[in-house]
Amino acid sequence: MKFEDDSQNLRIRLRLIQGLILMMLAVLGIRLYYLQVLNGAHYAEVAENQRIRLLPIPAPRGVIFDRNNNLLVDSRPIYNVILSREDIKNVDLNSLIKPLSDGLQVDEDFLRERFDEIRSQPAFESIRVKENATQSDIAWVEAHELEFPALRVEQQPQRRYPENGMLAHVLGYVGEISPEQLDQPKYKQAGYKPGDIIGQEGLEAVYDQYLRGRDGYRKVIVDSRGHIQSEVERVEPQSGQDLVTTIDLDLQEAAEEQLRSTPSKRGVIIAMDPNNGEIFAMASAPTFDPNLFSQRINTREGRADYLALQRDPRTPLVNRAIQGRYPPGSTWKVPMAVAGLQQGAITIQHSNLLCGGGIQIGNKFTRCMGNHGTPDLKTAITKSCDGYFYRLGLKMTIGGIEQMVDEFDLNKRTGIDLPHEVVSWTPSPAFKARMNPHDPDWRDIDTVYASFGQVYDIITPMAMLRAVAGVGMGGKLYVPHLLREARAVGDPASPDYRPTRAFDRPNPKVIPIPEDQHQLVVQGMWGVVNNGGTAARIKMAGFEIAGKTGTAQVARLGEDVGEHKDHSWFISYAPAFKPEISVLVLVENVGFGATYAAPAARALYDVYYRKTRNEEPPGAQVAMRQ
């Protein structure tokens, strides 16, 4: 040192400073070793994760066709406003509710609900803030990019159903998977994830696995604000399988039209191929617009509409064909006739039973609509003689009726490929005991009721049609169904290939009906239309319809009681001795079966005749119109 100084130990103090600096540098070095060498891989992963984002590309859902390749349901692209979850982890979602609600015209309650839902689902990638965004919504999002960088617009296919609610109950609808569904193993195992649009009702639900495509994705690099910098990888989505249904659009439209024309505008029409169970048409009125669920359910108006549908006393959401239970009235006589012969209560040679204008059991007289003397079976069916069938029922006893119910599968689901099919209620002492605990014993009068399709017989239209069509087929009851095939998609060589899938048709249930007994019953049903029977006015020369009318008592039979008029039934098939098509019509609360149901069925036969015979139907009679 060049200068002398009395400062305490200056040399040492300089050394101390130098030592301190080197020590600090060493500490930094150790810290760097810890971060970079020991934990470098971990931080590299963190950095990777925060810049890589997987963006799903929604796969188009399969299209639904009728049997002749007419389009029933398809999808069109719409735009959704998405809130990217990654970017808003530190943002108080509640603070977004007001500006988003104002800017995008969304219901505040809807946003609040949605944000609450999201909070309980940590795996959510993004939140759909607004569906079906308009051009001005998209412009708003773009204009507020700086303010709300987490917002983006995403394209998504949206389901489009026939506008007038045609076939709504059969097609069903799609909707976002619910948190409850996500908890069910059925959905979990199928690989559904939050936000997925899945089939919620009808064919959409039953064949969701076919209709659903496989979503693709984009692997992108984003910056700290979530803006996409580049695309690393892209996997294209695979669209779902197109569904070809058994529906015939012409018959379906005719069926809907007929129901709309009835006074009550409530009822069911089903047309089915009795040879294999393919459903040509299935209309249930009143109907609803499934687009409500696929397009508008998240809007305030949409939810109000849904609530109105749920509360509507006319139950438009119910598929009456498989979820409605009705007393079948005289249509019940068809299986009764077959079973009576089978069980030997009557024989072909001696099928005559007394009509007597009714029957006296104890102090109660149950009347017939006319006085038919002592008709044979054929006449009893043709004229719909109740007195005959009261006595047939008493001869068969309740045990025989129960056996018949079981044989015709009337106490089981038909197995149709639609969800929520209900089981009919059928007569049995146990059923009475449950229904009427004050008088639980089964009496003869109960057997009388059970034998003409009232009180204890409460059957779904689908089950009734299957039974009657089965009689037409000589005892072959096919499982009704709506799927013809799900078409193949993809390259057969690739592992993603999804082959054509047809309906997995079970063998028909066979009821052993001897040919002569079958002939006798069918002649009776043939007479209903062709031999001066209850539906004689719909006769078609050269296309012989066999059928049975029915008038199901709602309040008191035959009386005009306004709202509670009788249900009008007609169950039929044609041609009578070589069935090609069977048609069931049930119109609620309009009165006699012959007046409304039979002409509506005729309208469907006309359409069928035109399509298959390429000529105007013989003896064309304009169907009942209002």
Partner 1 sequence: MVAMLEKRKIRDFDWLLALLAVLIVGFGTLQIHNAQPTETFWQKQLMGLGIALVAMIAVSFTDYRKLVHIAPAFYIFGLALLVIVLIPGIGMKINGQRCWIKLPALGQFQPSEFVKIPVVLMLAYYFGKPRQGNLTVKETLIGSLILLLPVGLIMLEPDTGQAITYFPLLAVVLFLSSVRMWIVLAALLLCMAGAPLAYTVGVKTGVLRGYKLERINVILDPENADRRGFGYHTWQSIVTVGKGGLTGSQSTDYSQSSLKFLPEPHTDFIFAVTAEHTGFIGCLLLLLAYAILFSRLITGARRSPDRTGMIVIMAVVGGLAFQLFINIGMAVGMLPVIGVPLPLMSAGLSSVLATFIAIGFAISIQLRRFVN
If the CB atoms of residues 10 and 433 are measured against partner 1, the closer one turns out to be: 10
Among the residue ranges 13-21, 129-137, 371-379, 592-600, the one whose residues contact partner 1 (CB under 8 A):
13-21
48 vs 34: CA distance, rounded Å: 20
Closest distance between partner 1 and the C-beta of residue 229, in Å?
7
Q: What is the token pair recorded at 190?
A: 């199928």
Closest distance between partner 1 and the C-beta of residue 25, in Å? 5
SS3 74: strand
Give the separation between CA 282 and CA 278, rounded to whole angstroms.
11
Q: Per the structure block, which two tokens stand in for 156?
A: 């998504």
Candidate segments 14-22, 101-109, 328-336, 589-597, binder of partner 1 by CB under 8 A: 14-22
Q: Counting contacts by CB under 8 A, is residue 494 touching partner 1?
A: no
CA distance 371 to 12: 135
Give the interface segment with partner 1, choosing from 25-33, 289-297, 443-451, 555-563 (CB under 8 A): 25-33
Q: Residue 52 or residue 348: which is nearer to partner 1 going by CB?
A: 52
> For tokens 């592992």, what's the residue?
495
CB of 81 to partner 1, least distance (A): 23
Q: Minimum Å distance from CB 38 to partner 1? A: 9
Shortest distance in whole angstroms from residue 94 CB to partner 1: 17
Residue closer to partner 1 by CB (options 8, 363) is 8
Is 28 or 308 the residue whose CB approaches partner 1 more closely?
28
Q: Is 420 in the site for partner 1 (CB under 8 A)?
A: no
DSSP 8-state code for residue 480: P
Question: Which residue, 32 or 430, is less far from partner 1 as judged by CB?
Answer: 32
Whole-number minimum distance, CB 236 to partner 1, in Å? Answer: 24
Structural contact between residues 625 and 261, judged by C-beta atoms closer than 8 angstroms: yes
Considering the rule CB under 8 A, would residue 307 count as an interface residue with partner 1?
no
The answer to whether residue 17 forms part of the interface with partner 1 (CB under 8 A) is: yes
What are 449's two structure tokens?
Answer: 């009721």
Tokens of 96: 């977004």
Q: By CB under 8 A, is residue 32 in contact with partner 1?
A: yes
Site for partner 1 in 210-229 (CB under 8 A): 221-225, 229
Q: Find the binding residues for partner 1 in span 75-104 (CB under 8 A).
A: 89-90
Query: Using an 8 Å Cβ cutoff, are 328 and 547 in contact?
Result: no
53 versus 391: smaller Cβ distance to partner 1: 53
Query: Other C-beta atoms within 10 Å of 584: how many?
Result: 28
State yes or no: residue 42 binds partner 1 (CB under 8 A). Answer: yes
Quick check: helix, strand or coil at residue 539?
coil
365, 285, 360: which is closest to 318 by C-alpha?
285
Q: Is 256 exposed, middle or buried (0-12, 13-18, 19+ CB in 10 A)?
A: buried
Residue 8 interacts with partner 1 (CB under 8 A): yes or no: yes
Q: Whose Cβ is closer to partner 1: residue 31's or residue 98's?
A: 31
CA distance 413 to 430: 20
Residue 561 engages partner 1 in binding (rule: CB under 8 A) = no
- Closest to 581 in 3D by CA, of 253, 287, 269, 267: 269
Cα torsion 208, 209, 211, 215: sign: positive
Instruction: Give the range of 12-20, 240-248, 444-452, 608-616 binding partner 1 by CB under 8 A.
Output: 12-20
How far apart (Å, rounded) are the C-alpha atoms in residues 464 and 149? 60
Question: Hey, what amino acid is at 591?
Answer: G
Q: Closest distance between partner 1 and the C-beta of residue 1, in Å?
A: 6
Does 54 participate in binding partner 1 (rule CB under 8 A)? no
Question: 183 exposed, middle or buried (CB, 10 Å; 0-12, 13-18, 19+)?
Answer: exposed
Comparing CB distances to partner 1, the nearer of 31 and 420 is: 31
Residue 493 binding partner 1, by CB under 8 A: no
DSSP labels, 258-291: HHHHSSS--EEEEEE-TTT-BEEEEEEES---TH
Tokens representing residue 218 in the block: 């984009």
Nearest distance in Å: CB 8, partner 1? 5
Contact flag: residue 163 with partner 1 (CB under 8 A): no
Count of residues binding partner 1 (CB under 8 A)? Answer: 46
Which residues are near partner 1 by CB under 8 A? Answer: 1-8, 10-11, 13-14, 17-18, 21-22, 24-25, 27-29, 31-33, 35-37, 39-44, 46-47, 50-51, 89-90, 221-225, 229-230
